């Protein structure tokens, strides 16, 4: 009997995912038809039409690039500092105690409060960098600290006995130990950095940013643009997240082949 | 190189005394097999010599600055290849030497495979090669032949005899055949019966 799975069976998961997206669009379409007003709920077709044209408009790519580089810069800063501070706190318990109130504060204070406070301190153009950084920092810090705390004590003894120098300890023990924590932190941190960064831009309204486009769309009741820019942000953030995580995994793959 | 001398070593964990006034001289450059039933303090003794535990009382002299070890567990860097695991501890970093050692232990086909993909016996051999290649006049092997079949055990015994000449070896084993094949000296840690 031929037990070769059919094309449908082979790609069952893909079909299910595509089906879920199509169903969501259908629900959206039904909702738009039920409301019957583009100002309140634009139809998927009108948003699609806008999407097809918006990327050809002057200034589109510079707007996306403006926001992209700010949020990515904030994310990378948060990642770097979170790695450094998390390592320091994992190595020296005193640092963990010193950092604790800051970590608790950053995690619990609403992002809108930070945005408004920071607007007093810095220009709106830099706001999304700082807010993204601030949101990513505690996530990476907590994960790095957790990874250090959960290291296998037996492996610590082994590197102690074999007197591995500092660089080799990082390479052979700490980086592999951090791998799942770092991937998880980056996955969560990337999503949050985009959400918080865009929120900062909407409140700060730096000129030439995606946030400004959202603000303008709100002011002019252009709901179709609002939906269009939302989709653009989702697509850019998801693409960057996938790309960054793939890069991280590739780097780990290279490391393990050393 | 000097003898490793332990004098009146005592170690207890709470109420349980594991080593009581233990004294012994491990001759430099010789292989000593340590035997005794489970729980008699063999591993604790090795951990004290390795510097992973501190004795409650007693003195230890002649311990070289650098030691290498095969632990009861393999304690390898699982994501890295067998060769990388040796390179981690082998400071001269001569790849050909490392490859030759692994090949001698029957791991010639698995040099570049991540250790996590190797069998238990293969991992054990990587751990043994790592201890042999790591610098250190004193080598401590805690049940190094665990998980090895008879043929492989013979290969590893020959390998150890060939590559550890001149180094002080302390080997914990329960197998008289391993003892006979390897030991210059034997230390029996079996508790002396009451009144015996």
Is residue A43 assigned to a domain?
no
Note whether A127 and A66 are within 8 A (CB). Answer: no
Contact list, B88 vs chain A (CB under 8 Å): 162, 164, 168, 171-172
Residue B195 has pLDDT above 80, yes or no: no
Reference B171, options B149, B143, B147; nearest CA is B143
Q: Which residue of A has its CA nearest to B49?
A: A161
Is residue A42 assigned to a domain?
no
Burial (Cβ within 10 Å: 0-12, 13-18, ≥19) of residue A219 = exposed
Count of domains in chain A? 2
Same domain, A68 and A190: yes
Lateral strand order in the sheet of B57-61: B16-26, B4-13, B57-61
Here the tokens at position B77 are 């860097």
Specify the CATH number for B1-66+136-196; select among 3.20.20.70, 3.90.650.10, 3.40.190.10, 3.40.50.300.
3.40.50.300
Note whether B69 and B139 are within 8 A (CB). Answer: yes
pLDDT digits (tens, 9 = 90+) for B46-83: 999 999 999 999 999 999 989 999 999 999 999 999 99
Q: Report the percentage of chain A scoring pLDDT > 70.
A: 98
The residues spanned by each domain of chain B are 1-66+136-196, 77-135
Out of B52, B66, B67, name the one closest to residue A157 (CB).
Answer: B52
Contact list, A172 vs chain B (CB under 8 Å): 77, 80, 84, 88
Q: Which residue of B has its CA nearest to A253?
A: B79
CB contact under 8 A, A172 and B81: no
In whole angstroms, what is the distance from residue A76 CA to residue A79 CA? 5
Question: Which residue in this structure is represented by tokens 């391993």?
Answer: B178
Contacts of B8 (CB under 8 A, 6+ apart): B21, B22, B23, B57, B58, B59
Question: Which residue in this structure is represented by tokens 């780097």?
Answer: A251
Same domain, A15 and A75: no
In whole angstroms, what is the distance from residue A178 CA to residue A140 CA? 11
Cα A211 to Cα A39, A71, A98, A125, B191, distances in angstroms: 20, 12, 35, 11, 78
DSSP annotation of A4 reads P
CB contact under 8 A, A162 and B84: no
pLDDT digits (tens, 9 = 90+) for A91-139: 999 999 999 999 899 888 998 899 999 988 988 889 999 999 999 999 9
Tell me the average pLDDT across A198-222: 93
Is residue A196 assigned to a domain?
yes
pLDDT band at A168 (very low <50, low <70, confident <90, very high): very high
Reference B168, options B58, B53, B14, B6; nearest CA is B6
User: What CATH number should be reported for the domain holding residue A112?
Assistant: 1.10.3720.10
Same domain, A24 and A74: no
Here the tokens at position A135 are 């949101």
Q: Report the percentage of chain A scoring pLDDT > 90.
A: 81
Is residue A16 assigned to a domain?
yes
Same domain, A16 and A86: no
What is chain B written as a DSSP string?
A: ---EEEEEEEEEETTEEEEEEEEEEE-TT-EEEEE--TTSSHHHHHHHHHTSS--SEEEEE---S-EEEE-SS----TTSBHHHHHHHH-TT--HHHHHHHHHHTT-GGGTTSBGGGS-HHHHHHHHHHHHHHS--SEEEEESTTTT--HHHHHHHHHHHHHH-TTSEEEEE-S-HHHHHHH-SEEEE-PPPPTT-
Question: Domain limits at A168?
Answer: 49-256
Is residue A161 assigned to a domain?
yes
What is A188-210 written as a DSSP string?
A: HHHHHHHHHHHHHHHHH--TTSH
Q: Which residues pair with B34 in a beta bridge?
A: B172, B187
Contact list, B80 vs chain A (CB under 8 Å): 172, 176, 256, 258
Residue B33 has pLDDT above 80, yes or no: yes
Is residue A103 assigned to a domain?
yes
Average predicted confidence (pLDDT) for chain A: 92
Same domain, A32 and A61: no
Tell me the average pLDDT across B105-116: 94
Same domain, A239 and A132: yes
Is residue A97 assigned to a domain?
yes
Is residue A151 assigned to a domain?
yes
Same domain, A205 and A165: yes
């Amino acid at each position: 009997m031929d037990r070769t799975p059919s094309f449908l069976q082979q790609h069952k998961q893909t079909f299910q995912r595509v089906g879920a997206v199509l169903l969501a669009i259908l629900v959206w379409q039904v909702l738009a038809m039920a409301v019957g007003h583009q100002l309140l709920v634009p139809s998927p077709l009108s948003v699609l039409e806008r999407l097809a044209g918006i990327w050809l408009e002057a200034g589109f790519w510079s707007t996306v690039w403006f926001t992209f580089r700010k949020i990515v810069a904030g994310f990378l800063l948060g990642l770097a500092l979170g790695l450094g501070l998390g390592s320091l706190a994992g190595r020296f318990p005193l640092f963990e105690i010193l950092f604790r109130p800051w970590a608790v504060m950053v995690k619990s204070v609403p992002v809108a409060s930070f945005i408004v406070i920071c607007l007093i301190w810095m220009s709106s153009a830099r706001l999304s960098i700082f807010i993204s950084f601030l949101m990513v920092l505690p996530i990476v810090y907590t994960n790095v600290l957790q990874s250090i705390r959960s290291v296998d004590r037996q492996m610590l003894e082994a590197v102690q006995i074999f007197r591995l120098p500092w660089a080799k300890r990082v390479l052979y023990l700490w980086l592999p130990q951090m791998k799942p924590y770092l991937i998880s932190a980056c996955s969560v941190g990337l999503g949050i950095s985009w959400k918080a960064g865009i929120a900062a831009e909407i409140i700060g309204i730096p000129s030439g940013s995606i946030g400004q486009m959202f603000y303008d769309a709100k002011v002019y009741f252009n709901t179709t643009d609002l939906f269009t820019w939302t989709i653009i942000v989702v697509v850019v953030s998801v693409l960057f997240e996938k790309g960054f995580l793939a890069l991280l995994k590739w780097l780990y793959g290279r490391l393990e082949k050393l | 190189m000097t003898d490793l001398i332990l004098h009146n070593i005592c170690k207890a964990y709470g109420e349980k005394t594991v080593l009581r006034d233990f004294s012994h001289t491990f001759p430099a450059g010789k292989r000593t097999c340590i035997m005794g039933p489970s729980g008699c303090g063999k591993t604790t003794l090795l951990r004290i010599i390795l510097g992973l535990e501190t004795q409650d009382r007693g003195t230890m002299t002649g311990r070289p600055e650098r030691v290498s070890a095969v632990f009861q567990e393999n304690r390898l860097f699982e994501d890295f290849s067998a060769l990388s695991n040796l390179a981690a501890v082998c400071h001269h970093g001569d790849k050909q030497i490392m490859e030759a050692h692994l090949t001698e232990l029957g791991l010639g086909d698995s040099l570049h495979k991540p250790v996590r993909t190797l069998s238990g016996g293969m991992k054990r051999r990587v751990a043994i090669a790592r201890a042999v290649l790591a610098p250190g006049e004193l080598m401590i092997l805690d049940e190094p032949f665990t998980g090895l079949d008879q043929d492989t055990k013979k290969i590893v015994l020959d390998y150890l005899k060939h590559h550890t000449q001149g180094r002080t070896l302390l080997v914990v084993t329960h197998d008289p055949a391993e003892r006979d094949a390897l030991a210059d000296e034997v230390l029996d840690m079996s508790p002396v019966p009451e009144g015996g």
